[in-house]
Structure 1
């Protein structure tokens, strides 16, 4: 068929009175184009056009070799008469070679290959969750908050230590040792169950710290799962970008072949070069994103690991989460709501503790000594009781502050509930949108794109369509699959947040169990 095409081109050029680009200009100008179409038996949906090779026939190469360097081209009309205007060659008189294939851009960072150097058991979601629970520093901080609150509860319930004093009067007077030498012991007795109330208050704050620690654990695990799905999805997108690069290479080779047989313009070859180079940059960009998501994942796990391909799936096959079920679960079971309720209990105990603060404690003092004023000296004892009279200070200001803290924390429960409802509304809107996209891509769009590609591939086998149309259908299918993976990533992220009580940011320091502005006096005695 190509031989007939070349003969027709030569005949038409002869009739037009011009020289054909494939005519008898010189033996060295004759090119034989060989196109190899190789079909892959393992995958009938994939066909690739291999590189087009250009070679001279054997007789032409022998003729050119015999002439060697002595062969010279004839002078043009402009060279013989430089004062005359140059003659512009007509269309079809000269063969312009296609532009060269652009070089691959250099990767400034280390390349991420398809294989990694890490143990297989460290590439699953469960392994990264275990690593994060063991190495994430925020979990250690949250546990430290809990231990600190428990220590304050222990300290608040302890009795004050007794006080001991040694006393002497008129030491060395009148040549005597002293008039009196003795020792006293003082013990303060806590009244109105102040110790029990103080301990109950700090135990309630310990419960708040425990809920904050559970909240931080959800933050870490949710963030690990989100970044795991991001890395897994970016890994699949990178594979698709590499397939698109093969498609761009086939497109360029096809355009060069078509140009050499007169079926494409040089502008089309330039466009194919641009598309190839842009796709190479797209592969580098995808690899950079994959490198970044891997580093973020290992940072959440608290370890430094070399890159490895993750195992797992992004596919989503269970029913959609219902709005009312998600809202009831977040409002009733969220660690943030539980911590807010525990803070109310702690503030209630704080108010009860401050109400009895004005009840005076009793201090008992007792002792014994030696009286040297009498002869012989005698042993005497002493005893006293001390207490504060609440005349000027009845702790009114602290009681008022405690009541304000309790009222504020009761409103905080409602505020947290409304805030969680607002966050859930935004996240659920994203979740249901991604769910709808994933469902339609999986059930309609991707099967239709795959069927269109298969039809064009079969038609190409019967010479009904051009190979460029097959490559365009293949690109469309890969682009749609990449978009499908993006929707899958968004769906899994939203699912993790909704199931995980809308908690994320696993490297944020856990908050203080006691909010700013609350009474935080010395635990002993209150």
Structure 2
């Protein structure tokens, strides 16, 4: 018996690691499957945001709820059944059954329906405004990820270059051609570039997080399908953009709000006309039946709905002022976004044609001269720093052009023309 127990114990010791490894693999497998990459192009990201973003779904639900309000506004008032019984003695007891039918006068029902329809229109235009904003934010977030990816790639290339420079400096120190201080400076410069690599990775993670929140996805799963060449938004002439402001979602929504307030004024004005209640019934008294007809009309001596009418008139004035304010705000923001886009595109063009080629040429010359002993390592470091700053400035200008273009799309509520591929360098 002891031998059997000992054999089982030994078998258990051999099987335990295998079982543990199997359990670990089974635990890792779902995690690996869960973070399977999701390839996103710009159009796919916008489509997902339009379909999944909770703000859009909430606006759509509000518009759908307004359909119920329109239906309720057209419902006729319910009649009222009234039963009266007078007396307790059979000789003088009387019973009356009558139907009170309210009749709305002054066009109250049609005015109420128009007001509800205008409110439904405002809710639908709210959906369009939210969609335009989310579309612009998604477009900007997508291109920010593209710019962050490019910055991370550039930082990696510069880290490789810095590593080569450090190796060259170490060889020259071993050969006795330069002081060990040069190698120390090279190591410090390489460490600085590694910091840039870490910062670029963090910025990429943040950009992916912003995009993931818009498209409803795990940031770890996002795999951006970036274009092969840098694509910049096309600069549309400002007069053409200003002409589109009349159809901007914000303006259309504010204009619909004015129409809704005017419809509410009609409702309040119609309520000044008193409604009539018609009573039709039958009365039984001492074995005889009598027909009962009645008419009830409230006397508008004190309450003529004057306060509610005045309130609705002032709110209509407020809605008109808000329409003017919205148009003025959109115009100012459009001027600002167009100026930002124009400045960013000019900066990109200048850097790609004038700055980057010179910075790359200077760095190659400095590196080659340092290897030949013609330049000091400080000159190589200066050239390297200038090259990185130029590329970083170029990427920042590209990202700013994306943001400005997205703001324009959000303001006018339409997609600007297809981006044009720049002829500038990116490498």
Tell me the TM-score normalised to structure 2 length: 0.81
Q: Label 1:449 to 1:309 Cα distance change in 2 as closer, same or farther (>3 A).
A: farther
Residue 82 of structure 2: SS of its match in structure 1?
strand
Q: Deviations over 1:24-59 (max 9, x none)?
A: xxxxxxxxxxxxxxxxxxxxxxxxxxxxxxxxxxxx
Q: Which has the larger radius of gyration?
A: 1
Give the Å deviation of 1:349.
1.5
Structure having greater relative contact order (Cα 8 Å, sep ≥ 6): 2
Distance in 1 between the 2:66 and 2:367 partners?
70
Distance in 2 between the 1:321 and 1:186 partners?
66
Distance in 2 between the 1:240 and 1:282 partners?
10
Q: Label 1:272 to 1:451 Cα distance change in 2 as closer, same or farther (>3 A).
A: closer
Q: Deviations over 1:372-406 (max 9, x none)?
A: x2xxx222221211111111121111221122112
Distance in 1 between the 2:249 and 2:43 partners?
23
Please say if residues 294 and 307 of structure 1, whose CA atoms lie closer than 8 Å, have aligned partners that are also in contact.
no
Q: Label 1:446 to 1:278 Cα distance change in 2 as closer, same or farther (>3 A).
A: closer
Please say if residues 435 and 491 of structure 1, whose CA atoms lie closer than 8 Å, have aligned partners that are also in contact.
yes
1:127 corresponding residue in structure 2: 44
Q: Which of the residues 336, 346, 356 maps onto 1:446?
A: 356
Matched, 1:350 2:267: no
Please say if residues 423 and 502 of structure 1, whose CA atoms lie closer than 8 Å, have aligned partners that are also in contact.
no
Residue 500 of structure 1: SS of its match in structure 2?
helix
Residues 292-311 of structure 1: pairs in structure 2 closer than 5 A: 292-311=206-225
1:390 corresponding residue in structure 2: 300
Q: Which of the residues 366, 375, 378 maps onto 2:280?
A: 366
Q: Which moved more, 1:264-273 or 1:425-434?
A: 264-273
Give the Å deviation of 1:262.
2.5
2:242 corresponding residue in structure 1: 327
Residue 218 of structure 2: SS of its match in structure 1?
coil
2:23 corresponding residue in structure 1: none
Give the Å deviation of 1:218.
0.7
Give the Å deviation of 1:502.
6.6
Distance in 1 between the 2:272 and 2:388 partners?
77
Residues 123-202 of structure 1: pairs in structure 2 closer than 5 A: 123-171=40-88, 173=89, 176=90, 179-202=93-116
Q: Deviations over 1:235-269 (max 9, x none)?
A: 11011111111122222222222222233223333
Unaligned segments of structure 2, at least 5 residues:
1-33, 414-427
Distance in 1 between the 2:370 and 2:192 partners?
27
Please say if residues 244 and 412 of structure 2, whose CA atoms lie closer than 8 Å, have aligned partners that are also in contact.
no
1:220 corresponding residue in structure 2: 134
Q: Label 1:341 to 1:426 Cα distance change in 2 as closer, same or farther (>3 A).
A: same
Q: CA RMSD in A?
A: 2.6
Q: Deviations over 1:182-241 (max 9, x none)?
A: 422111000011110111012111111111110000111111111111111101101111
Residue 295 of structure 2: SS of its match in structure 1?
strand
2:30 corresponding residue in structure 1: none
Unaligned segments of structure 1, at least 5 residues:
1-115, 504-526
Q: Label 1:291 to 1:165 Cα distance change in 2 as closer, same or farther (>3 A).
A: same
Give the Å deviation of 1:363.
0.4
Residue 132 of structure 2: SS of its match in structure 1?
helix
Please say if residues 238 and 287 of structure 1, whose CA atoms lie closer than 8 Å, have aligned partners that are also in contact.
yes
Q: Which of the residues 316, 319, 331 maps onto 1:409?
A: 319
Q: Deviations over 1:394-431 (max 9, x none)?
A: 11112211221122222222111111122122222211
Residue 280 of structure 2: SS of its match in structure 1?
strand
Matched, 1:435 2:350: no
Distance in 1 between the 2:381 and 2:185 partners?
15
Residues 274-313 of structure 1: pairs in structure 2 closer than 5 A: 274-313=188-227
Residue 235 of structure 2: SS of its match in structure 1?
coil
Q: Label 1:297 to 1:497 Cα distance change in 2 as closer, same or farther (>3 A).
A: same
